[in-house]
Structure 1
Amino acid sequence: MATIHPYLNFMGNTEEVFNFYKSVFGGEFVNVTRFSDMPGMAANLPEAEKNQIMHIALPINKDVMLMGTDALESQGHKAVNGTAISLAITPDSKEDGERLFNALSAGGSVEVPYDKAPWGAWFGMFNDKYGIKWMVNFDEK
């Protein structure tokens, strides 16, 4: 079976965002590549974009890698946060779900507080402080 890894695009603050996610999930980056690491590409970029993140990867567990990049305005790229996608987390316990919910939602906006849901799971939904929509769902069954 194929594995799907979320790949997030940001407008120049990918490093800040991923350091925040690292503080929540722990672990170490397995890759941090800047546009300046790609000589052919960097030569055509404005100085302000050369140090931005071309690719970053943070393992969440043995099966899931959270990855990202900075969208380059000089290349016509634009990252728009919105409601087209949500990242769903299935924690190992109710308590772990509460910890992840509280840590990731800090500074963001909570849409549904982490609480017992009608389908029997512990669930919460929020936008983190970087505009990414998350759902936490722990099913006790």
Structure 2
Amino acid sequence: MKIKSYLSFNGNAEEALNFYAGVFNGTISEIFRYGDYPDMESPADYKDKIIHSDLEFNGCTFSMADTMPGTKTDFGSLGHTITVFCDTDQQLKDIYEKLAVGGEIKCELCQPFYAKLYAEVVDKFGVAWALIIE
């Protein structure tokens, strides 16, 4: 069994996709746009928006897309957190610093009783991240 996160954005999925590719040193393996599907009804200004994309990094895949206009999405007041189990202190610190740009630090880098290193960040897109080394 495996689980894949699928993040939906309000017209800025491409910005998010490129941001996360930089954060995680990932590769965009798929990107499909609404305009690639002429039989699908979508507004003319949505032809270049993302209907589906995949970002690959460290054996993980995140998918992202733009919702149709009029469908407002958000990540819900910390109701959903993506936890990243890092391999090294430096890896965690690098990801933490990149996610924090334009975002909000919820828990600064610390060494709680349950982890070697831990931090929480809500990034500029409103996605909550927990970074941990057990």
TM-score range, shorter chain: over 0.9
Amino acid at match of 1:59: E
Structure 1 position 133, deviation (Å): 0.3
Structure 1 position 70, deviation (Å): 0.2
**Match of 1:39, SS?**
coil
Give the gaps of 5 or more residues in structure 2: none
> Is 1:52 aligned with 2:46?
no
> Is 1:134 aligned with 2:133?
no
Residue pair 2:108, 2:120 contacting (<8 A) in 1 also: yes
| TM, length-normalised to structure 1 | 0.89
1:66 is matched with which residue: 52, 58, 62?
A: 62
Tell me the equivalent position of 1:8.
7
> Is 1:96 aligned with 2:95?
no
**CA RMSD of the aligned region, Å?**
1.2
Residue pair 2:74, 2:126 contacting (<8 A) in 1 also: no
Structure 1 position 129, deviation (Å): 0.7
Structure 1 position 120, deviation (Å): 3.6
**Match of 1:40, SS?**
coil
**Match of 1:99, SS?**
helix
**Structure with the largest fraction of helix:** 1
1:80 is matched with which residue: 71, 74, 84?
A: 74
Spell out, residue by residue over 1:53-91, the C-alpha distance to the aligned partner (whole angstroms, 9 max, x if none).
0001011222x1011110102xx5321222221110011
Residue pair 2:115, 2:133 contacting (<8 A) in 1 also: no
Spell out, residue by residue over 1:4-45, the C-alpha distance to the aligned partner (whole angstroms, 9 max, x if none).
11100000000001101111112321100000001111xx22
Amino acid at match of 1:93: T
**Structure with the largest fraction of strand:** 2
Amino acid at match of 1:131: G
Amino acid at match of 2:58: N
CA distance in 2, matches of 1:61, 1:46: 36
